[in-house]
Amino acid sequence: MKRTNDGGARRIVVISTGGTIASRWQGTGYAADASGDDVLATAPLPEGVTVEVVDLFNVNSSRMTSAHQLALLRTVHETFADPGVDGIVVTHGTDTLEETAFLLDLHHTDARPVVLTGAQRPFGTGDGDGPGNLYDALQVAASVRDLGVLVVFDGRVHAARGTVKSQTLAADAFSDPSAERLGRVGFSRVDIERQPERPAALPLPAAARTAAPGATGPDATPLPRVDIVTHHSDGDPFLLNAAVAAGARGIVLVATGAGNATPEIAAAVADAVAQGVLVAVTTRVPAGPLAEIYTGGGAVDLVAAGALLTGTLRAGQARIALLSTLLAEGAAGAGDPARSTALLRRLLEGPVRDEPALATGHSRSASAVAARV
């Protein structure tokens, strides 16, 4: 399907992947089944925009797999092989949107934008937020450059890195608990208030070239296993050791506070690292960086055991950083451990600071940003 609003000055491709924005009542609950064309038909188009739809897959995002995400990554790169495309909008479920957005951003080398959006209320409901979010996402995709992958939701523009789903049901579903929003959109205007922090982009991994959406079984592309283990009161190394025994090549330890666990868990981390497993430590606290403050199983000991701290990245995106590292260095985990650790550290830490010219909080309107196109 192609739709044009007065002139077609900007050509945007919408890649539909399912989620609440495409979900209809199934008798006992909602599930994604509306096509991308159906979803697009609910939203007005910004002036001067031509839209084309790609129906890639149609799943609730809680069922998202690495194969789905890599197929999307490949499709984004293939779409941008056409120089006539000005931007991409991905409609996606909210449950795992933060993970997909970060994966795309880690591999995004193009100045043209990729904008992810979705909905908190299902397709076709009278108070649905999907049409407004899609309109805003199209507006942003047609207006900005050099910002990487973005999340547009409820009139707010967020950088992919650090943005998480922070509300289960409210319309304002996404935020970066450790940073300000990137900008806002409304009344036919896009205001970008700061430059996002992004490490140098990774090339398209070999696994993305063959990944099939949702593929499982012996014919599926083999992908490295990356698990998430959470520490809590009475926590012990059992689940971390079980992940290693199950073949995990990477583990995200969700620690307490600024990155703390127990001496027993620190010892298990050291054993895992000695076996070639990459370990990243994040926290269950919503906001703030990790820090080497405490011993006795704290971040001091976890880092000494060979783990890397994730800065302000939380579990889902830390897992994506591990996955991208392993894909870059070899899915079997046979790459040079020192090189893999250095790459993971770069992906976790990102650049040191914002672009100085934008750190003062001055905003740029859509016209100012579009002038860079």
Q: Tell me, letter by letter, the H, E, C secondary structure of 36-85.
A: HHHHHHCCCCCCCEEEEEEEEEEECHHHCCHHHHHHHHHHHHHHHCCCCC
Q: What is the pLDDT of residue 127?
A: 87
Amino acid residing at 112: R
| Same domain (yes/no): 222, 191 | no
| Same domain (yes/no): 171, 22 | yes
Q: Does residue 74 sit within a domain? A: yes
What is the rounded CA–CA span in Å between residue 220 and residue 144? 37
Q: What is the pLDDT of residue 210?
A: 85
Q: What is the pLDDT of residue 299?
A: 98
Q: What is the pLDDT of residue 190?
A: 97
Q: Does residue 207 sit within a domain? A: no
pLDDT at 373 over 50: no
Q: Taking residues 39-59, what's their average pLDDT?
A: 97
Give the torsion through C-alpha atoms of 251, 305, 309, 227, to 10 deg: 10
Lowest mean pLDDT among 34-48, 62-76, 287-301, 339-353: 339-353
* Rg over CA atoms, the chain: 21
pLDDT at 332 over 80: no
Higher pLDDT, 364 or 149: 149
| Same domain (yes/no): 65, 188 | yes
Show which residues are catalytic. Answer: 20, 94
| Same domain (yes/no): 19, 50 | yes
Q: What is the pLDDT of residue 220?
A: 67
pLDDT band at residue 364 using 50, 70 and 90 as cut-offs: very low
pLDDT band at residue 369 using 50, 70 and 90 as cut-offs: very low
pLDDT band at residue 336 using 50, 70 and 90 as cut-offs: confident
pLDDT at 196 over 80: yes
pLDDT band at residue 5 using 50, 70 and 90 as cut-offs: low
| Same domain (yes/no): 31, 179 | yes
**Into how many domains does the chain fold?**
2
Q: Taking residues 346-354, what's their average pLDDT?
A: 72
| Same domain (yes/no): 235, 324 | yes
Q: Does residue 354 sit within a domain? A: no
Handedness of CA 242, 245, 248, 253 (dihedral sign): positive
What is the rounded CA–CA span in Å between residue 119 and residue 64? 16
Q: Does residue 273 sit within a domain? A: yes
The answer to whether residues 88 and 13 touch, using CB atoms and an 8 Å cutoff, is yes
| Same domain (yes/no): 342, 366 | no
Looking at every residue in the chain, the average pLDDT score rounds to: 90
Q: What is the pLDDT of residue 218?
A: 59
Annotated binding residue 96: no
Annotated binding residue 61: yes
Q: Does residue 205 sit within a domain? A: no
Percentage of the chain exceeding pLDDT 90 = 83
Q: What is the pLDDT of residue 10?
A: 95
Q: What is the pLDDT of residue 4?
A: 56
Q: Does residue 166 sit within a domain? A: yes
CB atoms within 10 A of CB 103: 27
Annotated binding residue 94: yes
Percentage of the chain exceeding pLDDT 70 = 88
Higher pLDDT, 1 or 332: 1
Lowest mean pLDDT among 23-37, 199-213, 253-267, 315-329: 199-213
Q: Taking residues 296-314, what's their average pLDDT?
A: 98
What is the rounded CA–CA span in Å between residue 39 and residue 26? 17
Lowest mean pLDDT among 85-99, 214-228, 271-285: 214-228
| Same domain (yes/no): 230, 121 | no
Question: In which domain, by residue range, is 237 found?
Answer: 217-349
pLDDT at 179 over 50: yes
Looking up residue 26, the CATH number of its domain turns out to be: 3.40.50.1170
Q: Does residue 204 sit within a domain? A: no
| Same domain (yes/no): 187, 308 | no
The answer to whether residues 87 and 113 touch, using CB atoms and an 8 Å cutoff, is yes
What is the rounded CA–CA span in Å between residue 39 and residue 173? 19
Q: Is 323 helix (H, G, I), strand (E, B) or coil?
A: helix
Looking up residue 296, the CATH number of its domain turns out to be: 3.40.50.40
